[in-house]
Amino acid sequence: MGHRPGRVLMRVKVLIVEDSKASREYIASTVEAVEGIDAVVTSSGFEALKLLPRHRFDLIITDINMPDINGLELINFVKKNPNYRDVPLFIITTEGREQDRDRGMALGAAEYLVKPFQPGSLESLLRRYLKLP
Amino acid sequence: MSPASKALAEFVAEATEILEALGKDLLVLDERRGQEADPERVNGIFRAAHSLKGLAGLFGQERISRLAHGTEDLLDRLRLGKLLLDDAVLDTLIEALDAFQALLAETAHGSESEGLSRRAEGMAERLGRLGAPVAARDEDPLDRLELDAQVRAVFTEYEEHRLRENVRRGVSLWRVRAAFDLSDFDKGLADLNARLKPLGEVISTLPSAQPGGAHGIAFDLIFGAQVAQAELESGLKGTPAELSQLTVRPSSASARSAEALSRAPLAQAESHAALVVASPTDVLPQTPATRRGGRKKGARATPAPAATAPGARAGDASHPVVESRRAAAPEARADAGPPPGPGPASQAWLPLADPATWGARPGPASGDWALSADETRSGVEATEGHEEVAAGRGTRPARGPVGNPGAASVVEARSQGGRGPGTSGPVPSLVTYLQGPGGRAPGRTAPASDRPAAPAPVPAESSLRSLTQTVRVDIGRLDGLINMVGELLLIKANLQRLAESARVDGAVPLSKLFGQELARETRGLERKLEALQEGLLEARMVPVGQVFDKLARLVRRITREAGKEIDFVIGGGEVELDKLIVEELSDPLMHLIRNAIDHGVEPPEVRLAAGKPRRAVVALRAEQKGNHVVIEVSDDGAGIDELRVREVALGRGLITFAQAEEMGRRELLNLIFLPGFSTARSVSELSGRGVGLDVVKNNLGNLSGIIDVWSERGKGTAFHLTLPVTLAIIRALVVGVSARTYAVPLNSVLEILSVQPGDIRTLERREVLDVRGQTLPFVRLSRLFGLPERPVSRYFVVVVGLAQERLGIAVDELHGQQDIVTKPLGGRLQSVRGISGATDLGNRRTVLVLDVAALLEEGMAQERRRA
């Protein structure tokens, strides 16, 4: 389930969870700019919980500060669930939220990005984790 | 639109939304100054600043991003209880909002002024320095909570803080577990949250890591209950929730506290009921700014017989507040430093736990108001850190405000009868914020000569209007529209089928059945199109509350500046109006409200002398009446003296003596709307009423609305603004005059009469009709527009009316009703009186649309001229 290494020819699917619309669009366009990735976006942790069983995501990118369930709770949910726990997960944080970031990493997030970030840095991380050329 | 400008527009739209939400929350905090802020609200404001920072960062808006960073940082400290929300902090936040608004306006217009950049920079720096830290506590109450470390690990810093607060206050904590179907768990959770909210605080919502079956999902809600277990259980009846209480170990001092409580007399309960502040925290005011006169919280630090301690009532679920914070033992006060504040007026107010705590307060309420900030502070420190007290080192000198020279002046100003920072220092310009940066049509606001001679004039180019023309549409409404389009497509398919069969059958005469089918489909099409039109119009509707909220912030500001004491009452904010109208309304309303505050409402002393309550009421209410919305701006001030109005109008030659003799009270009052009535001199003569009211009236006229005034000496004044619900698509009556065609908006047509020329009589040289015993002013459209009059045997008289005004308009022919979209007339034609625009009747004929509001005025003016 989830992340399958070595897959190059199949398209991969990335879930983006971010409540700010403009940020979401920015992240999505960065993700979609990478050849071979489809982005699925949602504005809330709740929606993410609904989407998880219906798709097979290869990677998840989540914000921490969100209204319904916070990003940490989402990470915990993903990482504790045998169906999803292998899916690599990136956190997007903003400067100054180090404690939240550290907790996210402790819960099993693979990487974190601090807003504002360069598209290039997200792109290279995506390529690395999704084993894209 | 280029991708870059599209991205910028998106940024501005979202940033505007964020700032609007932020402004709303700040307003609530502003209204409840002195009370403890709702943690959820503070967190909401924090989230807004946080989103704004992220957003601005992504879009390379560095100035906004930097300021948002400073704001977020301050708010973060606030919500985490590291800083207390005092007046200086709140004022600075309001000022920051102003700066954001200005920055966003520049961004929207693609400019960047150095002055503003510097201001934002300075602002950000100030935010960083602002506020006094809250004393650190020795013991982390969270250590007393028995909670799985794994659960704790998923809390954000904020959630952890809220949990800590709840533990510290001895609130009983529960784990509410509920499993839902995966497809609609959000509804179930929303329901659960709605039931829990009134009973306490939902601290965290954790999706359970245990897979909840193939189609299910379970959640653990960490909940701090303000009610007893039984009430909590009954409140959750019918939900799938299961409760289990989280154990909180008692703190070391609880035993003593329990003993003290049991001896506590209850006699003080009632006399202190007024002192209770909603829900307390340790956020203890330390800056002078929070010490406000007359706040009788000083008694809070009444000497207690013994140091009591929190945790005493942990088992008593009916009194969820556990901590009894009254350990301000005499010894704690003994070594308090000299009072920094100016005596009794500067008592610090202290957060209180709960009425129960008050009731339980031991010892005499000494009435000792003259406690210094240090003393009160030491009292609380003693309670917070009761072990410290027990150890006999109760007091620490209060740390004053750090780098915040504005705070002191704020206090002083407040203690002198509520004159706020606006008059005393460099504090915020909420007014400028409200006016918003660069309104779209500055030309429409009052010319400088008409400005009030008030102490703080509003800059002429001010506007409360929004930066964007975005309308947020409820998703339900949008879905409805999409469904309708689906149904229309179905009808289209049916019609296509019919057309196809007609084509194939060719010369065969069409059957009656076919005709019936076609007619049925056409009717269906018509109905659906109507529904679609209605739906689209609804999508343009926004609650007037949007502009009311902005005005409320303004009122607070002006009130403070004017040194008045005013309760501002808002009603009917849910009434919906076309977005365009709501936007255009803000300036006229601002005018009227400013007038009411500056000039309508008397100073407190004058009111008291007149036997009125000290505090005046200024009210803003909206009410839907059929196709119109009536907005009332009223005050219970001195009212307008119509005789003075008469004098002024005569003095300015606006009316003749003969006219004045004929005028009733209402007519006299309405003279204040005449251009040229208000001048600087008349401002003082008429206590300022009439300031730019002709401008207000014109603004409303542009919206097809009219304004009416009521006033009674000594009782107050009320302005009624009557407006159409929408301007976009209206139903019109199509009429003919002298072989020309005009459209009259049907929403202002009251009735149509058929009149013989003999029915028209002349009264005081004006033409009138007698309709059911009432005299109706009457104009001939042909004469009004200077068209050749044709002899007719009868007239159709279209009776139009808005609010109280009525007018009969004589036309030659009636052509029927039609939906029209009014297009504005461009250029020079725009100022033609009596015409609001043009419309296409569908048969490629363009006709002019009558401006009923202007005609009503014209009718009245004509009467005056002819006299």
Which of B55, B204, B207 faces A20 most closely, judged by CB atoms? B55
- Judged against a pLDDT cut of 70, whether residue B310 lies above it is answered with no
pLDDT at B865: 53
Give domain status of residue A32, yes or no.
yes
- Best B53, B58, B63, B472 member to test A by mutation, with max A CBs in 10 Å, is B58
Are the CB atoms for B587 and B700 separated by under 8 Å? no
pLDDT at B694: 76
pLDDT at B157: 79
Enumerate the residues of chain B whose CB falls inside 8 A of the CB of residue A101. none
- Local confidence band at B860 (pLDDT 50, 70, 90 cut-offs): low
More confident position, B452 or B187? B187
Task: Check A19 against B51: CB less than 8 A apart.
Answer: yes
- Judged against a pLDDT cut of 80, whether residue B729 lies above it is answered with no
Enumerate the residues of chain A whose CB falls inside 8 A of the CB of residue B68. none
- R_g (Cα) of chain A, nearest Å: 13
**A 100-119: CB under 8 A from B:** 100, 103, 106-107, 115-116
- Judged against a pLDDT cut of 70, whether residue B338 lies above it is answered with no
Residue B510 distance to chain A (closest CA, Å): 53
B160: part of which helix (H) or strand (E)?
A: helix B157-168
Residue A8 distance to chain B (closest CA, Å): 30
Cα end-to-end distance, chain A, whole Å:
21
Instruction: List all residues 6 or more positions away from B342 whose beta carbon is below 8 Å from its beta carbon.
Output: B412, B415
Query: Measured between alpha carbons, how far is A19 from A42 in angstroms, rounded to an integer?
Result: 8
- Judged against a pLDDT cut of 80, whether residue A58 lies above it is answered with yes
**Which alpha helices (H) appear in B385-511, and where do they start and end?**
386-390, 406-415, 421-424, 430-435, 475-505
State ipTM.
0.74
Task: Check A116 against B185: CB less than 8 A apart.
Answer: no
Which of A23, A69, A96 faces B73 most closely, judged by CB atoms? A96
CB pairs under 8 A between A and B: 108
Q: Is A72's Cβ below 8 Å from some Cβ in B?
A: yes
Task: Check A65 against B156: CB less than 8 A apart.
Answer: yes
Task: Check B182 against A75: CB less than 8 A apart.
Answer: no
Enumerate the residues of chain B whose CB falls inside 8 A of the CB of residue A83. 211
- Local confidence band at A20 (pLDDT 50, 70, 90 cut-offs): confident
Count how many domains chain A has: 1
User: What's the 3-state SS for B474-514?
Assistant: CHHHHHHHHHHHHHHHHHHHHHHHHHHHHHHHCCCCCCHHH
Residue A25 distance to chain B (closest CA, Å): 10
Are the CB atoms for B834 and B784 separated by under 8 Å? yes
- Judged against a pLDDT cut of 70, whether residue B806 lies above it is answered with yes
Q: Which chain B residue's Cα is nearest to A21?
A: B14
Give domain status of residue A83, yes or no.
yes
For chain A, the 3-state helix, strand and coil shares in percent, each to the nearest 5, are 40, 20, 40
3-class secondary-structure state, position B785: coil
Task: Check B204 against A83: CB less than 8 A apart.
Answer: no
pLDDT tens digits, B149-205: 777 777 887 888 888 888 887 888 888 888 888 777 878 888 888 888 888 888 888
What is the arithmetic mean of pLDDT over A46-57? 85
pLDDT at B344: 40
Q: Which of A103-107, B69-73, B412-416, B748-752 has the lowest mean pLDDT?
A: B412-416
Give domain status of residue A93, yes or no.
yes
**Tokens linked to B756:** 């013989």
Residue B532 distance to chain A (closest CA, Å): 28
Task: Check A50 against B207: CB less than 8 A apart.
Answer: no
B740-745: strand order across its sheet: B813-821, B729-737, B740-745, B846-850, B835-840
Task: Check B209 against A69: CB less than 8 A apart.
Answer: no
> Closest Cα partner for B718 from B574, B621, B804, B807?
B621
What is the arithmetic mean of pLDDT over B304-309? 40
- Crossing angle of helices B579-595 and B693-702, rounded to 10°: 170
B716-724: strand order across its sheet: B566-571, B616-625, B628-635, B716-724, B706-712
Cα-Cα-Cα-Cα torsion B657, B661, B665, B671, nearest 10 degrees, comes to -20
- Judged against a pLDDT cut of 80, whether residue B422 lies above it is answered with no
- B65-90: burial string, b at 16+ Cβ within 10 Å, e else: bbbbbbbbbbbbbbbbbebbbbbbbb
CB count, 10 Å around CB of B639? 20
> Closest Cα partner for B459 from B590, B584, B581, B570?
B590
Are the CB atoms for B518 and B494 separated by under 8 Å? no
pLDDT at B786: 86
Task: Check A96 against B69: CB less than 8 A apart.
Answer: yes
Encoded amino acid at B538, one letter: E
What is the arithmetic mean of pLDDT over A6-18? 74
Q: Is A51's Cβ below 8 Å from some Cβ in B?
A: no
What is the arithmetic mean of pLDDT over B134-149? 70
Tell me how far CA of residue B11 lies from CA of A24, A115, A118, A122, B17, in angstroms.
12, 15, 18, 21, 10
Which of A19, A22, A47 faces B11 most closely, judged by CB atoms? A22
CB count, 10 Å around CB of B817? 14
Enumerate the residues of chain B whose CB falls inside 8 A of the CB of residue A69. 205-207
> Closest Cα partner for B715 from B639, B633, B606, B610?
B639
Q: Which of B87-96, B262-271, B404-413, B732-741 has the lowest mean pLDDT?
A: B404-413
**Tokens linked to B211:** 């897979």
Are the CB atoms for B431 and B576 separated by under 8 Å? no
More confident position, B215 or B366? B215
Highest mean pLDDT among B512-516, B555-559, B565-569, B822-826: B565-569
Are the CB atoms for B311 and B342 separated by under 8 Å? no
Task: Check A76 against B69: CB less than 8 A apart.
Answer: no
pLDDT at B259: 45
Q: Which chain B residue's Cα is nearest to A69?
A: B205
Q: What is the CATH number of the domain that holds A124?
A: 3.40.50.2300
pLDDT at B418: 36
Task: Check B205 against A68: CB less than 8 A apart.
Answer: yes
Give domain status of residue A118, yes or no.
yes
Q: What is the DSSP string of B221-242?
A: EEEEESS-HHHHHHHTTTSS-E
Task: Check B57 against A115: CB less than 8 A apart.
Answer: yes
Task: Check A49 against B185: CB less than 8 A apart.
Answer: yes
- Judged against a pLDDT cut of 70, whether residue B545 lies above it is answered with yes
What is the arithmetic mean of pLDDT over B87-114? 86
Give domain status of residue A4, yes or no.
no
Q: Which chain A residue's Cα is nearest to B6?
A: A22
Query: Measured between alpha carbons, how far is B714 from B708 in angstroms, rounded to an integer?
Result: 19
pLDDT at A60: 95
Cα dihedral B202, B207, B212, B214 sign = positive
Query: Measured between alpha carbons, how far is B855 from B834 in angstroms, rounded to an integer?
Result: 5
What is the arithmetic mean of pLDDT over B799-814? 84
Query: Measured between alpha carbons, how far is B459 from B461 in angstroms, rounded to an integer?
Result: 6
3-class secondary-structure state, position B724: strand
Task: Check B154 against A76: CB less than 8 A apart.
Answer: yes
Instruction: List all residues 6 or more positions away from B234 whose beta carbon is below 8 Å from its beta carbon.
Output: none
Mean pLDDT of chain B: 70
- Best B156, B164, B181 member to test A by mutation, with max A CBs in 10 Å, is B156
Cα dihedral B47, B48, B54, B58 sign = positive
Residue A36 distance to chain B (closest CA, Å): 23
Are the CB atoms for B97 and B429 separated by under 8 Å? no
pLDDT at B463: 55
Give domain status of residue A53, yes or no.
yes
Enumerate the residues of chain B whose CB falls inside 8 A of the CB of residue A73. 154, 204-207
Task: Check B209 against A80: CB less than 8 A apart.
Answer: yes
More confident position, B520 or B392? B520
pLDDT at B631: 94
Q: Is A29's Cβ below 8 Å from some Cβ in B?
A: no
Query: Measured between alpha carbons, how far is B684 from B680 in angstroms, rounded to an integer?
Result: 7
Q: Which of B348-362, B584-598, B679-693 has the lowest mean pLDDT?
A: B348-362
pLDDT at B541: 82
- Judged against a pLDDT cut of 50, whether residue B742 lies above it is answered with yes
Q: Which of B47-56, B68-77, B467-476, B517-526 has the lowest mean pLDDT?
A: B467-476
Which of B10, B150, B217 faces A49 most closely, judged by CB atoms? B217
Q: Which residues pair with B541 in a beta bridge?
A: B578
CB count, 10 Å around CB of A39? 18
- Judged against a pLDDT cut of 70, whether residue B772 lies above it is answered with yes
Query: Measured between alpha carbons, how far is B160 from B151 in angstroms, rounded to an integer?
Result: 11
Task: Check A83 against B211: CB less than 8 A apart.
Answer: yes
- Local confidence band at B802 (pLDDT 50, 70, 90 cut-offs): confident
**Tokens linked to B754:** 């058929």
pLDDT tens digits, A77-99: 898 888 888 899 999 887 667 78
pLDDT at B411: 31
**Owning domain of residue A84:** 12-130
Give domain status of residue A50, yes or no.
yes
Give domain status of residue A1, yes or no.
no
Task: Check B154 against A99: CB less than 8 A apart.
Answer: no
- R_g (Cα) of chain B, nearest Å: 33
Residue B387 distance to chain A (closest CA, Å): 29
More confident position, B279 or B791? B791
Query: Measured between alpha carbons, how far is B103 from B67 in angstroms, rounded to an integer?
Result: 10
Enumerate the residues of chain B whose CB falls inside 8 A of the CB of residue A96. 69, 72-73, 76
Q: What's the number of CA atoms in the CB half-sphere (13 Å) around residue B832?
A: 17
What is the arithmetic mean of pLDDT over B724-737? 81
